[in-house]
Amino acid sequence: MILRLFSTSTGYLGKSIASLAHLRSGFLAPGKTFRSAMCRQKSIQVPANRVYDVNTKIPKDVMLFKYENPRFFKMLNIFAVSQFLFWGYLCHFSYTTLKDAPVQDDGKEDLPWYKRVNLGENKYRNGIAIMCFFIGYGVLFASWIFTLRSVRYLVLRKGGDKVSVVTYAPFGTNRIMDVPLKYISAQESREAARVTVPVKIKNRALFYMLDMRGEFTNTKLYDYTVGLSRKLK
């Protein structure tokens, strides 16, 4: 009787040890139950910072970006105006002062090339005058366009449906326009940009530039509003 009880208890003990060993091997064996459970747990984790987790319906106006550098644009426009005046004077001078002075044919071949050219001839005089005018006007136009496309402030308006785009103006003032958010598309992400972030506004020529030397005052709200790339039809 004693031997029978001893053998029965030994059998139960062996099954228990075998079951524990099986469970241990199942949990600790690489690539088996433990790893699959961990992978399954990771796969069902919810990603953070989803678009619909960010509340863009703000109760008041929020500034998204600012770039304070009025001195640079003031000096740029002073330079542009001075260049326009300088080249304008050259245009007037060349048109009114250059006289028609034909070069004599005798010994013309022995003269240097610049002495054989009659700058007072109509084609040269008019060409020089037109070239001077377009150089001065081109410098002024490029400076003004760059100024008008440089963003000073970006303000997301109350409700999150419109954005106030404040740019510099040539004469030291600001230019303000309210644009629906759906009409704005960032051409490059804030993290990838090195010098400027080009922003396209529907029905507006060229791009508006956000200088990276400026400050993004609300990066999260910017990334999910103005910083998104949209298809503008």
Quick one: pLDDT at residue 67?
97
Residue with tokens 């524990």: 20
Distances (CA, A) of 183 to 6, 26, 155: 86, 57, 15
Is the pLDDT confidence value at 61 over 90? yes
CA angle 117, 122, 123 (to 5 degrees): 70
Is the pLDDT confidence value at 68 over 80? yes
Structure tokens at 189: 């992400």
Confidence of residue 110 (pLDDT cuts 50, 70, 90): low
Quick one: pLDDT at residue 108?
64
Quick one: pLDDT at residue 166?
97
Is the pLDDT confidence value at 113 over 70? no
Q: What is the mean pLDDT of residues 116-128?
A: 83
Which region among 80-89, 106-115, 123-132, 159-168 has the lowest average model confidence (pLDDT)? 106-115
Phi, psi of 230 (to 5 degrees): -120, 155
At 4-54, the pLDDT tens digits run 434 444 444 444 444 434 434 444 444 444 344 444 444 334 344 554 567
Structure tokens at 17: 């040890």
Which region among 30-39, 97-106, 152-161, 163-172 has the lowest average model confidence (pLDDT)? 30-39
Quick one: pLDDT at residue 119?
77
Decide: residue 198, CB within 10 A, 0-12 exposed, 13-18 middle, 19+ buried: middle
CB atoms within 10 A of CB 49: 9
Quick one: pLDDT at residue 88?
96
Quick one: pLDDT at residue 82?
97
